[in-house]
Every structure is written in structure tokens, then in C-alpha cells.
């Protein structure tokens, strides 16, 4: 029997902007440095069609403390515009952990939405990863929610949307 997945959920945050504006911020990877301090850089080439399986390279602050950033490879698993975005890190030699980030948007009205995200740790290393980095990940997910709200509202209010 495989170990039970362990999940961290961000705060739920209401955004005074349409869900499509918040979505566009989430998938504008070239501009993450402008608003996202937890994952300030993501390199990916979104294809014109279905992006499932497309590789993303995430630059995140190092949890080891020996390097300023870690670069971690993930792959798109869900791309359901403008509701649900998910990517997954499969186990590999350099990082044997199976993790998944899901980001959710729910339209509350034409000009307001709700956002939350989860990080799920799966497989044999889930418990160790959760116990070592859970607090750090929780803080990061909450920070992304707050920063996404600020950026989406800035864009919506500057464009009148």
C-alpha cells in the first residue's frame, strides 16, 4: 500500500477582478518576477494547443540554504481555463519526490473571484518532505495568494476590467 498523500492548502482569497484576469496573471509566466516572490521565475513554452505534459522549470527560493534558488522541473497536468491549473514534479535522480501544485479560481461575480492553491506530497518521500518543508510551503502558498490578488486587482483596476 502506498503512503497517504499529504496536502497543504493556501488561504482562500477573494480577488476584486474577473477570474479571467487572475487566470491571465497565473499563466503569464514571463512576468512572474513582477508579482510572485515564492516562484519568481518559470520557464516554459506554452503550445498553441493542449499544454498537458509540457515542461515547466520553476525557480524557487532554496529550501537547503546553500543556494539562492533551486530549479525544479514540473509538467502540466491540468490546464482548464480559467478554473484550474496544475503541474506535477515526478521523481527523478536529483529530486526523488512526487509533488503536485493545483491552483483554483472560482468566479463569484463578473468582476470578482476566489483563489486557493494546494501542494500535495505523494509517494514514499511524502511524509519526510511534508515534515521538513510543510511550514515553508504553507507560507509560500499563502504569499502567492496575496500577491496574485494584488497583481490581478492592479491589472483589473488599471484597465477598467
Confidence of residue 1 (pLDDT cuts 50, 70, 90): very low
Residue 106 lies in domain: 6-159
Mean pLDDT over the full length of the chain:
89
* C-beta pairs of 57-60 under 8 Å, 24+ apart in sequence: 60/140
Q: Please tell me the distance from the alpha carbon of residue 127 to that of residue 129, in angstroms, as a whole number.
A: 6
- pLDDT for the residue numbered 129: 87
Q: For residue 160, is pLDDT > 50? A: yes
> Residue 112's pLDDT is what?
98
What would the grid cell of residue 146 be? 496575496
Single out the residue of 7, 19, 28, 27 nearest to residue 105, CA to CA: 19
- Number of residues written out for the chain: 161
Confidence at 77, pLDDT banded by 50, 70, 90: very high
pLDDT at 65 exceeding the cut of 60: no
Which residues contact residue 24 at a Cβ distance below 8 angstroms, ignoring those fewer than 6 apart? 155
In a domain, 68, yes or no: yes
Q: Is residue 28 part of a domain?
A: yes
Q: Which residues, in sequence order, are CB contacts of 62 under 8 Å at separation 6+?
A: 68, 69, 70
Q: What value, to the nearest 5°, has the Cα angle with vertex 121 and ends 13 and 7?
A: 35
The residue among 159 and 115 whose pLDDT is bigger is 115
Count of structural domains, the chain: 1
Between residues 97 and 21, the one the model is more confident about: 21
Per residue in 21-47, pLDDT (tens digit) is: 999 999 999 999 999 999 889 999 887
1 within domain boundaries: no
Residues in contact with 44: Cβ distance below 8 Å, sequence separation at least 6, in sequence order: 29, 54, 55, 56, 57
Which CATH number fits the domain that encloses residue 31?
3.30.530.20
Share of the chain above pLDDT 90, in %: 61
The rounded distance, in Å, linking the Cα atoms of 157 and 70 is: 34
Q: Which residues pair with 59 in a beta bridge?
A: 41, 71
Identify whether 14 is part of a domain: yes
> Is 16 contained in some domain?
yes
Please give the average per-residue pLDDT across 10-26, as a whole number: 98
User: What is the pLDDT at residue 3?
Assistant: 72
Q: For residue 73, what pLDDT band results from cuts at 50, 70 and 90? A: confident
- Which of these, 149, 129, 131, lies nearest to 11 by C-alpha position? 149
More confident residue, 90 or 3: 90
Amino acid at each position: 500500500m502506498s503512503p497517504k498523500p499529504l496536502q497543504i492548502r493556501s488561504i482562500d482569497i477573494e480577488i476584486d477582478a474577473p477570474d479571467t484576469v487572475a487566470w491571465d496573471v497565473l499563466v503569464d509566466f514571463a512576468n512572474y518576477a513582477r508579482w510572485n516572490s515564492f516562484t519568481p521565475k518559470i520557464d516554459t513554452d506554452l503550445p498553441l494547443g493542449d499544454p498537458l505534459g509540457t515542461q515547466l522549470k520553476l525557480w524557487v527560493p532554496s529550501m537547503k540554504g546553500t543556494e539562492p534558488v533551486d530549479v525544479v522541473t514540473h509538467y502540466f497536468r491540468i490546464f482548464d481555463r480559467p478554473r484550474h491549473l496544475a503541474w506535477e514534479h515526478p521523481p527523478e535522480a536529483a529530486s526523488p519526490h512526487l509533488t503536485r501544485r493545483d491552483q483554483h479560481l472560482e468566479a463569484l461575480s463578473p468582476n470578482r473571484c476566489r483563489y486557493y492553491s494546494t501542494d500535495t506530497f505523494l509517494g514514499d518521500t511524502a511524509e519526510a518532505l511534508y515534515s521538513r518543508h510543510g511550514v515553508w510551503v504553507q507560507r509560500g502558498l499563502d504569499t502567492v495568494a496575496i500577491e496574485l490578488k494584488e497583481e490581478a486587482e492592479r491589472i483589473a483596476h488599471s484597465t477598467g476590467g
